Structure formats: structure tokens, C-alpha cells
């Protein structure tokens, strides 16, 4: 069977997406590959299609149990025999799965990296005909990546132990230049065909907000989008507990996930999210990698993550089906300090030498600085992220909160001069809060104790709102007029450029106009499918969702494994009348047509006059 026949028969698609065919052809030509493709771009098809065409078994090395279960469940639904081998199986189940694998029952076997060099698995692998090894989430092999897993360093050793070297494929959604080099070296890829399809996810709307009340902002969003499923990321376990409890008290079907819960509760809560029992997940970054839930319509970051890579990965869990989705970051300055604390604690890892720890700490602080810049920039948010990964665009996407806000250049010369003078008068001893309070003329006891109540700058900006003083100070920091140190207690210091604020040139800062020409409401509703797909029959779509849920519960699988939202929308728009037309729906392959076609066609016929 040819690759396009397999694509249609098993996966229900008529054409390949960007980059897929090039990677598939390389693997079929027995060439190593390294694919860097954003979440939702179809990385899995790049190895699943050739796996069905190669003679032997394909091993897929995957870091998380949830990822394996999702992938194997989806493949079995499509009529492809696949299995996973990880710690969720009992000893008896594990042995039985290996026996069946040895008999050639499976074309694809998903395996945790920790299992590769165990005696039992190695005995199987040395006797099996392994034609391809695929490494998913390949950035985990790099000590310079954001999700380093020491177990990934054993993969190359496992491949070298095999009697014949299989073709090797590596895939990830994010990789800086250093991480790319690390992956190629650590996995011992042989002249790999490298394909980067770009990091832009055009279906995602990006927004940064600095609300006075983060929880109120979350509730406003959920009230506006009551039927949607999404993830709310928090930095600390305590915050996860608090937010989840408050959401439940307000009638939101929310669940939680963090490392402090028992394994049993984490599994149950994850399943409740996947099966849409609790469509809102509140979690730390311990949740999400490998979660293949296609109908996640929003990702809200309750706190700023520690770097752009993590943010891109986590936000990218929205809109995997290619439909419109929202990525919202709720920023507060204290998020920076909390991340600094976490970074310093993480680098106290005994596995690194003192020199490595110093390098990692320096690198992580620089990454945190870039993340903080993202939260305060007035430039296009999408362009900011793409530039970070080495892609350059027009600095206007029309689909982020900054591009939908009208800005103007305002003269902040006098405010800037007052800030620089106050920093100088403080002898560069204090942070942004003390400087702001001094300029505002605060009557706090702290200013009397540290002497700033007697400063000549005390009260100089009493008529300027606090938020504007902070904005200008952040602007001065971002543009090198002052330096905010990376210490546990950040201090504002002067730079060589500080004196320029007293020159003849005005200090101009870009700021949002008080009266916006375009509202951000269009962005808040970017995940609203009614705007995105006008041909969809939404009454029928809701009925199809109900039928999907009934089938999913009967078969004990997540609803999106039966059909994705995208498939249901296409179904409700096309209204197929027979099996041939049903096979023309996006994502409907022969196996799914055979299993579910009759039920869905009957509902469509009943609903359609």
C-alpha cells in the first residue's frame, strides 16, 4: 500500500501537511531524520505512516505514560495494532505484551526510555526485527533543554546494542540551536534529514494581561466560554489547590494536577480531563507533555513560566486540532521573583558540576529575562516568540492582544529623569517598589526607616499613577537606561546609558491609547468556533458531540479519540448521506467509518430535513 493510501485508509486525510512527506520519504529511504514541528503539525504521522510500510517493528520512545496511552488508543481506533510498555502494566501484562510483540502482533510499540536497557526488554529487542526507532519529545535528551531527562541519554546506547542499526527518527516541537546540536550528537543521528516547518501556530490567539485580580479574569473568561475545555497553569501547588477549589465553589467542573498528589489521584484527574468529565484542568507544569487532547480551546497561564520554550510548549497544548484557540498569560511582577527562586533551587542538582551549575544558572536567568520582556512588550506577541526561535516576520500578526490594541508614542522624559535621579539619590541600594513609593510620596514606615522619606525626590511624581511609574521603569530597564539585578532582592542600578535621559532627545515610550480603535473582545472570542467556521451547523454539531460522548463512555475512551471536534464540525457542515460521503469527512478513515458510520449517518439523516 502506498503512503497516501495509508494516510486515507487509517487516518482519514487526503493530503499531507507541510514537512510530513519529506520526512516520510527520508525514513522510507532508510535515512535518519530530525523533525522540528509545532504542536498540532502532525509529527506522529511522520513516523506512523512509514512504520506501516516498513517490514519490521517500529519502537517509539516516549517520556510519559499518558502520551503512550493516547497514541496507542488512537492507533487501535484507526485499525492499527500497537501497544505500550511502561510502569502502568503489571508484571504479567508486561510479559504478555512482550510475547505478543515477539510474535509480530504489533507494528508499533511505545516504550519508556527507562525500559530500553532492562534485561527483559533487551532480550526481546535483540531477537526482534526492529526497522525504526523513533524518539518523541527529543529535546528531553539535551541538558540545555527545558525538560532534560537523564534516561534519554541511554537511547543511543540501546541502539548501538542492536544487531543491526535501524533508521532513527527524532521529533520535537521546540529546539534552539544548542538543543538541536545536542539532540543530533546525543542520539548519534547519521547525517539526518532535518526539517523545520516553522514555529508559527496561526490558529492560536496570544494575549498578555496584567489584571488586579487574576481569579476574576479567569472567571470572566470561563463564563464567556462555558462549554470549552482548557488548562490553567500555576507555578505553585498551593496556587493550583486554591484556584481549583474556588472554581469548583463557583460551579466550574474543574480538576487539579501536581506532583504532591498520589499517583492514583493524578491518573483519575487526568482521565476526568481527557474524558471531559472535568473539562477544566488546573495544574503545575508537571501536567501536559504528551497530552494529545485535541479539543483544548484555551490555555491560561495564571503565572508567568520561567522561559519562552516552556511557555511555547504549554500554550501549544491548545488547538491541537487546528481550530481556533486562546493562549492567555496573566502577568504580575512577583512572578519573576518566584521563578528566580525556583531556578536557583533547581541548579542545586548534584548531577551537575559546579561549572555546569554556574552555566545553567546564567542561561536560565537570561531565559527568564526574555520571558519577562515578552510580558511587558508592546510589540507583536507572536513575532516576539518567533524571533526567539530564529524566525522573523513583519512584527504584525493581527491575532494577538498587542496587534489588536492601538498604541501611541508618549513623552515620558520627565518621569524617566525623576526615576534615574531617585536611583542615584538612593545610592543604588533599593528595588523598584522603594523607588516607586519614594517618587509617589508614600507615608510608609519603611521609607522613614531606610531614609528615602528625606530624599529630594520624595513625592516628585505624586500626580503620576503608580502603574505608569512602573511602566516607565520597566521601559527604562528593557532599553538599558537602568539595570534591575538578578539577585534574590532585585536592586535598580544605573548604567552608562542612564545619563541619556537628561539629553536633548525626548524619551518616548509606546503605550496603549486610552480609547482603543479595536477592542480585544475579538481576541477573547478567538476560540469561538461560530466565528471561525461559518458553514458549521451548530445545532447538529452539538448533537454529534452528544453521540460521540455516548460512544466514548461505552467504549471507555476519551471522546476525541472517537472523532475530533474538527471532524464533527466538518461532518455537520457536509452532512454526509452515505458511506462514501462519510469517508470524505476530515479525519474519517475506513476503520472508523466501519465502526461508527452507521450511528453518525443515522443521526445526521434524522437531524437533516
Q: Specify whether 113 is located in the same domain as 138.
A: yes
Rounded Cα gap, residues 492 and 500, in angstroms? 17
Q: Specify whether 275 is located in the same domain as 379.
A: yes
Rounded Cα gap, residues 378 and 471, in angstroms? 11
Rounded Cα gap, residues 308 and 327, in angstroms? 13
Q: What is the mean pLDDT of residues 342-354?
A: 70
Which residues, 6 or more positions from 341, have their beta carbon under 8 angstroms from its beta carbon?
Answer: 488
User: Among 116-130, 281-295, 322-336, 416-430, which is the least confidently predicted range?
Assistant: 281-295
Question: Is 397 part of any domain?
Answer: no
Question: Is 521 part of any domain?
Answer: no
Question: Is 525 part of any domain?
Answer: no
Query: What pLDDT digit, counting tens, does each position of 224-282 carry?
Result: 998 899 999 999 999 999 999 999 999 999 999 998 999 899 989 998 998 889 999 99
Q: What is the mean pLDDT of residues 472-493?
A: 84
pLDDT band (50, 70, 90) for residue 531: very low
**Given 388, 421, 451, which residue is the final one in a domain?**
388
CATH number, residue 364: 3.40.50.300
Based on DSSP, count helices (H) and strands (E) in the chain, helices before strands.
Answer: 26, 17
CATH number, residue 472: 1.10.10.10
Domains in the chain: how many in total? 4
Question: Is 523 part of any domain?
Answer: no
Whether the per-residue pLDDT at 516 is higher than 70: the answer is no
State what percent of residues in the chain have pLDDT above 70. 93
Q: Specify whether 546 is located in the same domain as 415.
A: no
Q: Specify whether 26 is located in the same domain as 151.
A: yes
Q: What is the mean pLDDT of residues 203-223?
A: 94
Q: Specify whether 597 is located in the same domain as 476.
A: no
Rounded Cα gap, residues 534 and 532, in angstroms? 6
Amino acid 146: pLDDT: 57
Q: Specify whether 209 is located in the same domain as 186.
A: no
22 phi-psi bin (left φ>0, alpha ψ -120 to 50, beta other): alpha
Question: Is 271 part of any domain?
Answer: yes
Whether the per-residue pLDDT at 23 is higher than 90: the answer is yes
In 3-state terms, what secondary structure has residue 519?
coil
Q: Specify whether 223 is located in the same domain as 342.
A: yes
Indicate the pTM of the whole model: 0.70
Q: Specify whether 309 is located in the same domain as 437.
A: no
Question: Is 527 part of any domain?
Answer: no
Whether the per-residue pLDDT at 104 is higher than 60: the answer is yes
Question: Is 459 part of any domain?
Answer: yes
- Among residues 307, 264, 311, the alpha carbon closest in space to that of 288 is found at 311
Q: Which domain holds residue 424?
A: 407-512
Question: Is 73 part of any domain?
Answer: yes
Q: Specify whether 348 is located in the same domain as 235.
A: yes
Rounded Cα gap, residues 543 and 423, in angstroms? 63
Q: Specify whether 55 is located in the same domain as 154.
A: yes
Whether the per-residue pLDDT at 150 is higher than 50: the answer is yes
Query: Could you count the other beta carbons within 10 Å of the beta carbon of residue 448?
Result: 11
pLDDT band (50, 70, 90) for residue 299: very high
Q: Specify whether 175 is located in the same domain as 79.
A: yes
Q: Specify whether 86 is located in the same domain as 29.
A: yes
Whether the per-residue pLDDT at 200 is higher than 90: the answer is no
* Between residues 40 and 243, the one the model is more confident about: 243
**Residue 332 contacts residue 433 (beta carbons within 8 Å):** no
Amino acid 441: pLDDT: 93
Amino acid at each position: 500500500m502506498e503512503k497516501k493510501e495509508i494516510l486515507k485508509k487509517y487516518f482519514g486525510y487526503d493530503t499531507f501537511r507541510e514537512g510530513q512527506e519529506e520526512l516520510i520519504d527520508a525514513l522510507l529511504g532508510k535515512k535518519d531524520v530530525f523533525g522540528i514541528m509545532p504542536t498540532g503539525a502532525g509529527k506522529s504521522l511522520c513516523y506512523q505512516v512509514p512504520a506501516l510500510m516498513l517490514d519490521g517493528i517500529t519502537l517509539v520512545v516516549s517520556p510519559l505514560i499518558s502520551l503512550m496511552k493516547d497514541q496507542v488508543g488512537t492507533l487501535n481506533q484507526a485499525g492499527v495494532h500497537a501497544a505500550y510498555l511502561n510502569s502502568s502494566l503489571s508484571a504479567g501484562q508486561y510479559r504478555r505484551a512482550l510475547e505478543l510483540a515477539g510474535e509480530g502482533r504489533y507494528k508499533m510499540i511505545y516504550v519508556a526510555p527507562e525500559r530500553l536497557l532492562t534485561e527483559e526488554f533487551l532480550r526481546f529487542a535483540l531477537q526482534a526485527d526492529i526497522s525504526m526507532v523513533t524518539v518523541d519529545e527529543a529535546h528531553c535528551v539535551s541538558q540545555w533543554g527545558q525538560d532534560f531527562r537523564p534516561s534519554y541519554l541511554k537511547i543511543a546506547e540501546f541502539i548501538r546494542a542492536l544487531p543491526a542499526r535501524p533508521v532513527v527518527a527524532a521529533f520535537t516541537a521546540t529546539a534552539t540551536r544548542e538543543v538541536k546540536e545536542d539532540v543530533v550528537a546525543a542520539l548519534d543521528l547519521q547525517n539526518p534529514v532535518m526539517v523545520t516547518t516553522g514555529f508559527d501556530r496561526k490558529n492560536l490567539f496570544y494575549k498578555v494581561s496584567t489584571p488586579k485580580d487574576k481569579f476574576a479574569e479567569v472567571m470572566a473568561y470561563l463564563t464567556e466560554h462555558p462549554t470549552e475545555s482548557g488548562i490553567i497553569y500555576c507555578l505553585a501547588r498551593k496556587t493550583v489547590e486554591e484556584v481549583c477549589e474556588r472554581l469548583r465553589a463557583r460551579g466550574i467542573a474543574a480538576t487539579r494536577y501536581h506532583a504532591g498528589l498520589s499517583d492514583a489521584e493524578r491518573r483519575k484527574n487526568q482521565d476526568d480531563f481527557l474524558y471531559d468529565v472535568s473539562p477544566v484542568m488546573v495544574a503545575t507544569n508537571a501536567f501536559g507533555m504528551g497530552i494529545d487532547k485535541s479539543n483544548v480551546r484555551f490555555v491560561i497561564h495564571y503565572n508567568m513560566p520561567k522561559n519562552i520554550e516552556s511557555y511555547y510548549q504549554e500554550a501549544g497544548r491548545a488547538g491541537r486540532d487546528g481550530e481556533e484557540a486562546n493562549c492567555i498569560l496573566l502577568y504580575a511582577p512577583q512572578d519573576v521573583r518566584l521563578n528566580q527562586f525556583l531556578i536557583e533551587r533547581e541548579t542545586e542538582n548534584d548531577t551537575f558540576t559546579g561549572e555546569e551549575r554556574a552555566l545553567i544558572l546564567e542561561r536560565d536567568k537570561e531565559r527568564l529575562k526574555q520571558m519577562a520582556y515578552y510580558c511587558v512588550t508592546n510589540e507583536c506577541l507572536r513575532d516576539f516568540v518567533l524571533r526567539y526561535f530564529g524566525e522573523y516576520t513583519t512584527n504584525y500578526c493581527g491575532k494577538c492582544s498587542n496587534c489588536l490594541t492601538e498604541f501611541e508614542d508618549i513623552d515620558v522624559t520627565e518621569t524617566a529623569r525623576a526615576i534615574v535621579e531617585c536611583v542615584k539619590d538612593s545610592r543604588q541600594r533599593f528595588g523598584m517598589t522603594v523607588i516607586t513609593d519614594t517618587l509617589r510620596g508614600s507615608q510608609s514606615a519603611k521609607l522613614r526607616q531606610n531614609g528615602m522619606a528625606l530624599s529630594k525626590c520624595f513625592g516628585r511624581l505624586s500626580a503620576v499613577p503608580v502603574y505608569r511609574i512602573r511602566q516607565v521603569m520597566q521601559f527604562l530597564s528593557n532599553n538599558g537606561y537602568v539595570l534591575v539585578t538578578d539577585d534574590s532582592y532585585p536592586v535598580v542600578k544605573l548604567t552608562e546609558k542612564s545619563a541619556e535621559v537628561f539629553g536633548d532627545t525626548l524619551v518616548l515610550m509606546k503605550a496603549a491609547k486610552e480609547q482603543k480603535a479595536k477592542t480585544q473582545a475579538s481576541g477573547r472570542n478567538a476560540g469561538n468556533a461560530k466565528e471561525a467556521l461559518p458553514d458549521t451547523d451548530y445545532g447538529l454539531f452539538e448533537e454529534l458531540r452528544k453521540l460521540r460522548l455516548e460512544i466514548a463512555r461505552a467504549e471507555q475512551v476519551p471522546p476525541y479519540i472517537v472523532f475530533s471536534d474538527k471532524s464533527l464540525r466538518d461532518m455537520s457542515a457536509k452532512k454526509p448521506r452515505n458511506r462514501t460521503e462519510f469517508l470524505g469527512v476530515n479525519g474519517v478513515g475506513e476503520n472508523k467509518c466501519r465502526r461508527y458510520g452507521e450511528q453518525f449517518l443515522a443521526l445526521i439523516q434524522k437531524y437533516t430535513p
